Amino acid sequence: MALTDTKIRKELKPKEKEYKAYDEKGLYMVVTPKGKLLWKQKIYFEGKELKLSHGSYPEIKIPAAREKRDQARSDAANGIDPSRKKKAKKLSRLFTAEETFENIAVEWHLKFSAKWTEDHSKRILERLKKDIFPWIGKYRIAEITPPELLGVLSRIEKRGAIETAHRALQNCGQIFRYAIQTCRATQDITVVLRGALQPVKTQHHPSITDPKEIGALLRSFSDYRGHFVTKCALLFAPLVFVRPGELRQAEWSEISLEESIWHIPAEKMKMREKHIVPLSRQAVAILKELSTLTGHGKYVFPSIRTPNRPMSNNTVLGALRRLGYTSDEMTGHGFRSMACTLLNEQGWNRDAIELQLAHAERNSSRASYNYAEQLPLRKEMMQAWSDYLDSLIVEISTI
């Protein structure tokens, strides 16, 4: 039978030995020989029995004690260790708020996000808010243990988001190292967790790399009967093999047809570094023809609906689908894989290829490089690449 104020007052008298009086759902009261009335709770978390303390009666009245009990049960049901949460709350009164994982993570994000694209910055913060902060955000960062962090990452892993778990681990490592640098932690506990997660199955963007099939693909672009701007984007994309977002947001002010150069500003690039795209004769010819239609506006490839916005994310992808290429065969990113594969096979300088692809993952000894590095070689490579693609169109048309 549940406890009431009347029952506590009349029946719970001190005895020679400590005893318990039960309420409901694991909540009970301990009566000490000295007459103290202490709220306790028995609860199970991940198969382990926990005993929680919720203060003393009458300072903590029955409704308040039951509210604490229900909160603990809710936390346990949602994968939060109630005893650990209680400890963290207690520690928060002893240490400054800056020492919690969440606050240090937000501080780290604010400091370094200026170097990232808006989408990249948003993805990292959303990942932390969804998958990390609810479980260890309020813990003092210096007291988080490897098993605790692994438990959080395992929750992500169990729902099948293996790559997200690895990215979260990487972000946590960056946050721990920042905490060490700012004297709020002494070790990066993510180091000992390397190899603790399931390996990521490498997934490449679907791409066509067989020369005969590439010729057929390019021929279909020439025969495309859709919107003229979309057709130009299809023809231009394989010649420059930039990321889809960089392609659709190209502006006329960034392009010099006289110098055959496209300067992409840092804020449009994935890692916020300026990028140069040498334009082949074929690429310049496409742009000159397109300039009669869109050259008076801001964007090279504007939206069909309004010239004040770039074409949508799905325009090129949709055109590929209308041409009969499925998501398993070719995507907008696929032009990059196509160029990377064949240029390497053709023996072009690997560094020149990586520079032209503007890959984020560069050799650490070359991490800080001039964005115009190896430009003469890259110009030669880009012209040779366009000539090679032209040869494939001719070959396929003569079969």
Alpha carbon distance 127, 69 (integer Å)? 30
Fold classification of 211-397 is: hpI Integrase; Chain A (1.10.443)
Give the percent of the chain with pLDDT over 90. 65
Q: Which residues contact 116 (CB under 8 A, 6 or more apart)?
A: 124, 271, 272
Q: Mean pLDDT for the chain? A: 88
Residue-wise pLDDT for 151-208, tens only, equals: 999 999 998 888 899 999 999 999 999 999 988 899 999 999 988 998 876 555 678 8
- Specify the pLDDT at position 61: 92
Q: Compute CA 136 distance to the chain's CA centroid, rounded to the nearest angstrom.
A: 19
Q: Domain residue spans in the chain?
A: 5-79, 97-193, 211-397
Q: Which residues contact 108 (CB under 8 A, 6 or more apart)?
A: 174, 175, 178
Residue-wise pLDDT for 30-83, tens only, equals: 999 999 999 999 999 888 899 999 989 988 999 999 999 999 999 888 888 888
Alpha carbon distance 168, 115 (integer Å)? 19
Superfamily holding 5-79: Integrase, DNA-binding domain (3.30.160.390)
**Under the phi-then-psi rule, with left for phi > 0, alpha for psi from -120 to 50, and beta for the rest, what region is 117?**
beta
Alpha carbon distance 328, 208 (integer Å)? 10
Alpha carbon distance 263, 115 (integer Å)? 18
- Specify the pLDDT at position 370: 62
Alpha carbon distance 101, 107 (integer Å)? 10
Q: Decide: helix, strand or coil at residue 19.
A: strand
Residue-wise pLDDT for 110-167, tens only, equals: 988 877 767 778 889 999 999 999 999 999 999 999 999 999 999 999 988 888 999 9
- Token pair of 278, please? 């040498």
What residues act catalytically? 243, 270, 333, 336, 359, 369
- Token pair of 239, please? 């010649």
Q: Tell me the CATH number of domain 97-193, given options 3.40.190.80, 1.10.150.130, 3.40.50.1370, 2.40.10.10.
A: 1.10.150.130
CB atoms within 10 A of CB 85: 18
- Specify the pLDDT at position 345: 92
> Using 50, 70 and 90 to split pLDDT, how confident is the model at 98?
low
> What does 206-275 look like in DSSP terms, one character per residue?
P----HHHHHHHHHHHHT--S-HHHHHHHHHHHHH---HHHHHT-BGGGEETTTTEEEE-GGGSTTS--E
Give the percent of the chain with pLDDT over 70. 91
Amino acid at 31: V
Alpha carbon distance 231, 221 (integer Å)? 7
- Specify the pLDDT at position 116: 74
The larger pLDDT score, comparing residue 46 to residue 280, is at 280
- Residue 38 is classified by DSSP as E
- Specify the pLDDT at position 363: 44
- Residue 399 is classified by DSSP as -
Q: Are 249 and 331 in contact (CB under 8 A)?
A: no
- Specify the pLDDT at position 333: 87
Does 97 have pLDDT greater than 70? no
Residue-wise pLDDT for 291-331, tens only, equals: 999 999 999 999 988 889 999 988 999 999 999 888 778 88
Alpha carbon distance 106, 98 (integer Å)? 10
Of 114, 146, 151, 116, nearest to 132 (Cα)? 151
Any bridge partners for residue 256, and if so which? 261
Of 332, 258, 256, nearest to 300 (Cα)? 256
CA R_g for the chain: 31
The larger pLDDT score, comparing residue 224 to residue 360, is at 224
Alpha carbon distance 305, 315 (integer Å)? 12
- Specify the pLDDT at position 397: 45
Q: Are 276 and 375 in contact (CB under 8 A)?
A: yes
Alpha carbon distance 72, 152 (integer Å)? 18
